[in-house]
Amino acid sequence: MVESLLSLQEIEVAYDQSVILRGVDIEVPPKQLVCLMGRNGVGKTTTLKTALGLLSPRVGKVFLDGEDVTSMAPEQRARKGIGYVPQGRDIFPNLTVWENLQVAIVVFGKSAKDELDRVFELFPVLKEMLSRKGGVLSGGQQQQLAIGRALLTRPKVLILDEPTEGIQPSIIDQIEDTIYALKKEGNMSIFLVEQYLDFAKAVSDRFYIMDRGSVVKHGTIDQLDDAAISQYLQV
């Protein structure tokens, strides 16, 4: 079996006394797009934060490209190849588009600068709006900026938390195209949290469904059946 690019093994996470993740196992194979699904509050973001190192598991391990990174800080994991686009996008609203991109360049240096052209090719609108403040961009443009900034760090695995949340339908199509294009380039694994089913089906290779802190189903995306959808995903 091919070794996973990102592997979460028997992860247990608690906030104070309340256990949030109960033995979560997730494998993200090289160059594949894996979608983590589930209703609000089941533990999707908590899972991503554990992969990134923003939360430490009480039990379990995180592997990145075969290396145990469980005790590594988020910055260290970022340098080792984890890119992150947080839920709610989290760009700097008072910095310009250019300054937002500079943040990655300051941290990652020349290699990030060399990626700029590729990012502008993927998101031409960013190039047109370099001097605009992040806060005046549309939701879809902010999402493109957040993804573009993450790409500058040349991640081995890109982690995206609900990129379509709060974004109008016409722009969702654009973001879908973008993620599809990233996937087709074929250099990166993508670990996506997404509740918008059509989008998830269109871009994913594999899925995991969580319910109350546990993985209850997983498989290839064509194995995602209507029974699972109505039991675990739709309200």
Ligand X SMILES: Nc1ncnc2c1ncn2[C@@H]1O[C@H](COP(=O)(O)OP(=O)(O)OP(=O)(O)O)[C@@H](O)[C@H]1O
Q: What's the token pair of residue 162?
A: 């609900």
The one of ligand X, Mg ion, none whose footprint includes residue 83, by CB under 5 to 8 A per kind, is: none
C-alpha torsion 37→39→41→46, nearest 10: 0
Binding string to ligand X for residues 75 to 114, with x set by CB under 6 A, is what?
Answer: ------------x---------------------------
Tell me: does residue 195 bind Mg ion (CB under 5 A): no
Select the residue interacting with ligand X from 1, 2, 17, 40 (CB under 6 A).
40
Q: Which is nearer to ligand X, 38 or 81 (CB)?
A: 38
Asked if residue 192 binds ligand X (CB under 6 A), the reply is no
Structure tokens at 169: 């339908």
Report how far residue 146's alpha carbon sits from residue 162's, in angstroms, rounded to the nearest whole number.
Answer: 12
| Interface with ligand X, residue 17, by CB under 6 A | no
Stretch that binds ligand X, among 23-31, 39-47, 59-67, 89-97 (CB under 6 A): 39-47
**Chosen from ligand X, Mg ion, none, partner binding at 57 (C-beta under 5 to 8 Å by type):** none
208, β-bridge pairs? 36, 218
Find tokens 């992860």 and name the residue.
11
CB 207 → ligand X: shortest distance, Å?
15
Sign of CA dihedral 131, 136, 141, 144: positive
Choices 21-29, 37-45, 128-136, 179-187; region in contact with Mg ion by CB under 5 A: 37-45
* Site residues for ligand X per CB under 6 A: 15, 20, 38, 40-46, 87
